[in-house]
Amino acid sequence: MAPDYHKTVSKNVRNYIISLQKKRSREEHRVFVIEGDKLIREFLASDFSVVSLIAKPEFISSLQPELLEKAGEVIPVRYEELKKISSMVTPHNAIAVIRMPDIKFSTARIFRSLSLALDTIQDPGNLGTIIRAAAWFGIRNIICTENCVDVYNPKVIQATMGAFINVNVFYTDLVVSLKKARENNIPVYGAMLEGTEIYGQQPDKRGIVLLGNESKGISGNLLSFVSHRIVIPRIKGQITGIESLNVGMAASIIMYEFTRKKN
């Protein structure tokens, strides 16, 4: 590939992409950034709209034409340019700007099958791995309190490892949604430290699994909507130093147990 094939990313574009590391800018422009060859290939093959693809020419020319034409704008750059706009210490070969999907939130969608509800999850890695496990177990919808970490945070997207494409994440008032769930006889399973062991539980085909904040658990104002308090059994006897499982692990174990009858 001839060197004159490279372009330079203008200062405006550079500042724009860097600004998208911040939630406010993402919300304003209704776009987010993804990084990495594999992830970008998957987004190009998906229903997402790829606004810009900024990548090394080698990456661009490795794409099948039908994938490449799905990118709105294609900017071939040197690796040094990618370094300037990447959120990573060691960037991959490609960065893309993606339009946020416009999926309408409705409780009917959430109530149709088994869904997750997340209360004040703070750690990007936790949200990312929960989305990854949800995709694995076929759970399509997650509702989050407004103060959960943003799903378009680059660290969340990185941790989902592509599973992001398969799961809808909605930010909404959980008081309203969970109240409505109970009014519609949808069970709300609260992951707690005391309750019924999940072994062999046969949950409804429909239902909401509610998981609380990493250190504080489920908020008081949501607790009253829990219809089933569930626990992951731990080793018997008093052991110091372990008060709970990591929320991502708890979520994945519950999804594993609750989907075993259905898959």
**Nearest residue (CB) to a copy of itself, 77 versus 192:** 192
- Residues contributing to the site for a copy of itself (CB under 8 A): 42, 45-46, 125, 129, 132-133, 135-138, 159, 161-166, 199, 232-236, 239-246, 248-249, 252-253, 256-257, 259-260, 263
Q: Name the minimum Å distance from CB 87 to a copy of itself.
A: 17
**Nearest residue (CB) to a copy of itself, 42 versus 204:** 42
How many angstroms separate the CA atoms of 60 and 137, rounded? 33
> 247-259 vs 124-136: helix axis angle to the nearest 10?
10
How many angstroms separate the CA atoms of 28 and 46, rounded? 24
**Nearest residue (CB) to a copy of itself, 12 versus 240:** 240
Q: Do 231 and 254 form a contact (C-beta atoms < 8 A)?
A: no
DSSP lists the bridge partners of residue 42 as none
Q: Name the minimum Å distance from CB 121 to a copy of itself.
A: 15
Q: Name the minimum Å distance from CB 82 to a copy of itself.
A: 21
The distance in angstroms from the start CA to the end CA of the chain is: 48
Q: Is the dihedral of CA 210, 179, 260, 109 positive or negative?
A: negative
Q: Is the dihedral of CA 93, 163, 256, 171 positive or negative?
A: positive
Q: Name the minimum Å distance from CB 4 to a copy of itself.
A: 35
**Nearest residue (CB) to a copy of itself, 30 versus 260:** 260
**Nearest residue (CB) to a copy of itself, 168 versus 177:** 168
Amino acid letter, 243: E
**Nearest residue (CB) to a copy of itself, 18 versus 249:** 249
Q: Name the minimum Å distance from CB 246 to a copy of itself.
A: 5
How many angstroms separate the CA atoms of 217 and 225, rounded? 14
Q: Name the minimum Å distance from CB 135 to a copy of itself.
A: 5
**Nearest residue (CB) to a copy of itself, 46 versus 227:** 46
Parallel, antiparallel, or unpaired: how do β-strands 94-99 and 50-55 relate? antiparallel
Count the Cβ atoms, other than its own, within 10 Å of residue 20: 22
Q: Name the minimum Å distance from CB 262 to a copy of itself.
A: 9
How many angstroms separate the CA atoms of 228 and 34, rounded? 38
